[in-house]
Structure 1
Amino acid sequence: MRGHSLLAACLFATLPVGAIAESAIASTIQSAVADPSRPADQRAADESRKPAETIAFAGVRPGMTVGEFYPGGGYFTRMLSDVVGPKGHIHGIENDRWKGAVKADAELVASGQLKNVTMDSAPFGTVRFPKPLDLAWVTQNYHDLKIAEYGVVDTAAFNRAVFQALKPGGTYFILDHEAPAGTTTADIAKLHRIEKAQVIREVTAAGFKLLEEGDFLRRPGDDHTLSIFDKAIQGKTDQYALKFVKPLH
């Protein structure tokens, strides 16, 4: 073991500083995903949700302040908490109409395991955080902002508020289910999908720049005309990941 450690140290020392940093972050993310304290049902979802790829693509780093919209009981919250570490913080905000999620979020905080996590609940579309964010996070819920049953939201105002909540250079990360071309608001409510093109159009209109697209959850075999809850494709939908940035000036 001593020899292997010395060899690893020598190899590690030859890497550029940037490569070392990225390697350390990748290791932190893998440890967060492998955390044995995560509930079994959430770990079972990892194969389809690809949390390591998702967190890495979003650019989560130790020390970050993250605003997580609609944690839904904390599937990502636990892992984000591990990655940002004690110098970072996760501020979750839940739709107050989703009582089950509000309860699950409260129980997560009450457990005392995640010292760097706070949870809030508010009317759908509310954007309020105690300090400027490095990263705003919305996974599989942007389309819900279009569903009046959950609360009537002015999506343009929501995106502008997220823009204001972020530090200059901050990231707005959105992951959602692809929809057929021409999907209407009524269709979104039925399918629980939204077109990538629509999200890009709306978010850039608020002042953001599209920085990168991730294809790690793209599934060309998905039938976009089916609801994401249809058993034929549930858990196997075609999803896009979008990373937007708030310009420095």
Structure 2
Amino acid sequence: MRQTLTVFALLTTAIAVASVAAGEPKTQRSTVQAAVAATTRTPANIARDKYRHPVETLTFFGVKPGNTVVEIWPGGGWYTEILAPLTAGKGTLYAAAPWPNGTKGVQGLQAKDAALYGPIKLAAFPWAEGQPKVPDGSADVVLTFRNVHNWRMGNAQEGDYSAKAFAQMFAMLKPGGVLGIEDHRLPESASAEREKNSGYIKVSTVRRLAEQAGFKFVAASEVNANPKDTTDWKDGVWTLPPTYRLKDVDRAKYEAIGESDRMTLKFRKP
């Protein structure tokens, strides 16, 4: 039965792509597919699509070309390489990160291809007085990939600042706007203490933080689930690819497991 469903899904996708090529109206999914297929993407990033499922993830979040999108903590720009062509010419893309050094990855993309990445607006996150800011009530979609656990683990200056982070994301969004979160998933049965050092976080914790900030939970997707990941690694989530904290020790074992088990959650600002 599963094989039959898989074949059906593949055929459905092929028909959808063929329809777009034939000139039929583009769907939200087809515009995401086109952005993921952009020739400007880095080959090393494309190789990770099998773990990150960008078409399914961005389709689930409902990202559209005309949206004002905020990518929180884009790092080296893995998703930026997709979001830039997706919003080019129709929407607006913000890259919000610790100011100013957190935006260096995106600045590198801008230096490499000013036509594509130049329009990206840079902002501070978390924001503090005197830093460039995503205007309140301006965003259609705020996205953050594998970052909430970092805010929960905190920093030396203020400890756990996850509540502040969610409050600022809530402020960025228009009423009806979407918050999309993907993160390393800690089993609900695990000790909450593991959220402080493992890189994993519970779905219940993320939902609590979002709902306390005012968000309404919409839906969860299992598109980024990985049942091979037990999550119980001495060196945390960084044991797995792409980090391989143990370097060559048992590398084949961790490569076979793949990237982490991840939650994919969608919230809405009332």
Q: Which residue of 2 aligns with 1:129?
A: 134
Q: Quote the residue 1:236 is aligned against.
A: 259
Report the Cα distance in structure 1 between the residues aligned to 2:213 and 2:84, rounded to whole angstroms. Answer: 28
Letter aligned with residue 138 of structure 1: T
* CA–CA separation in structure 1 for the residues paired with 2:23 and 2:106: 40
Which aligned pairs between 1:210-249 and structure 2 lie closer than 5 A?
210-226=217-233, 227-231=236-240, 232=254, 235-247=258-270
Structure 1 residue 45: deviation in Å? 1.0
Alignment of 1:160-199 (within 5 A): 160-181=167-188, 182-184=190-192, 186-199=193-206
What is the SS of the residue equivalent to 1:178? strand
For normalisation by structure 2, the TM-score amounts to 0.75
CA contact (8 A) 1:91 1:117 kept: yes
Aligned residues: 227
Quick one: distance in 1 between partners of 2:201 and 2:261?
11
Indicate the residue corresponding to 2:250 in structure 1. none
The runs of at least 4 aligned residues of structure 1 exceeding 6 Å deviation read none
| SS of equivalent residue, structure 1 residue 205 | helix
Please state how far the C-alpha of 1:62 moved relative to its aligned partner.
1.5
Separation (CA, whole Å) in 1 of partners of 2:198 and 2:92: 33
- Displacement, 1:139? 0.6
Distance 1:151 1:44 in 2: 37
Is 2:71 aligned against 1:48? no
Q: Check conservation: 2:70, 2:93, Cα contact below 8 A.
A: yes
Q: Which residue of 2 aligns with 1:148?
A: 154
- Give, in whole Å, the separation in 2 of the partners of 1:194 and 1:141: 10
Q: Deviations over 1:183-225 (max 9, x none)?
A: 43x5224210100111011101111111111111112221122
Which residue does 2:13 correspond to in 1?
Answer: none
Preserved contact between residue 195 and residue 201 of structure 2 (Cα < 8 Å): yes
Equivalents in 2 of 1:46, 1:108: separation in Å? 19
* Matches of 1:141 and 1:200, distance apart in 2: 14
1-structure distance, mates of 2:224, 2:208: 21
| Structure 2 CA distance for aligned equivalents of residues 114 and 92 of structure 1 | 11
Q: Match of 2:224, as an amino acid?
A: L
Answer with 153-162 or 200-209: which moved more: 153-162
Q: CA RMSD in A?
A: 2.6
Stretches of structure 1 that go unaligned for 5 or more consecutive residues are: 1-7, 14-19
CA distance in 2 between counterparts of 1:103 and 1:85 reads 20
> In the alignment, does 2:101 pair up with 1:95?
no
State how far apart, in whole Å, the 2-side matches of 1:154 and 1:230 are. 25
1:183–1:195 contact (8 Å) kept in structure 2 = no
Q: Which amino acid letter does the alignment assign opposite residue 187 of structure 1?
A: R
Q: Which deviates the most, 167-176 or 26-35?
A: 26-35
**Where in structure 2 are there 5+ consecutive unaligned residues?**
1-18, 241-253
* Secondary structure of the structure 2 residue equivalent to 1:157: helix
Partner secondary structure for residue 197 of structure 1: helix
Q: For residues 145-176 of structure 1, what are the alpha-carbon distances to aligned partners after superposition, in whole Å with 9 as ceiling and x for unaligned?
A: 02234763532232122212110000011110
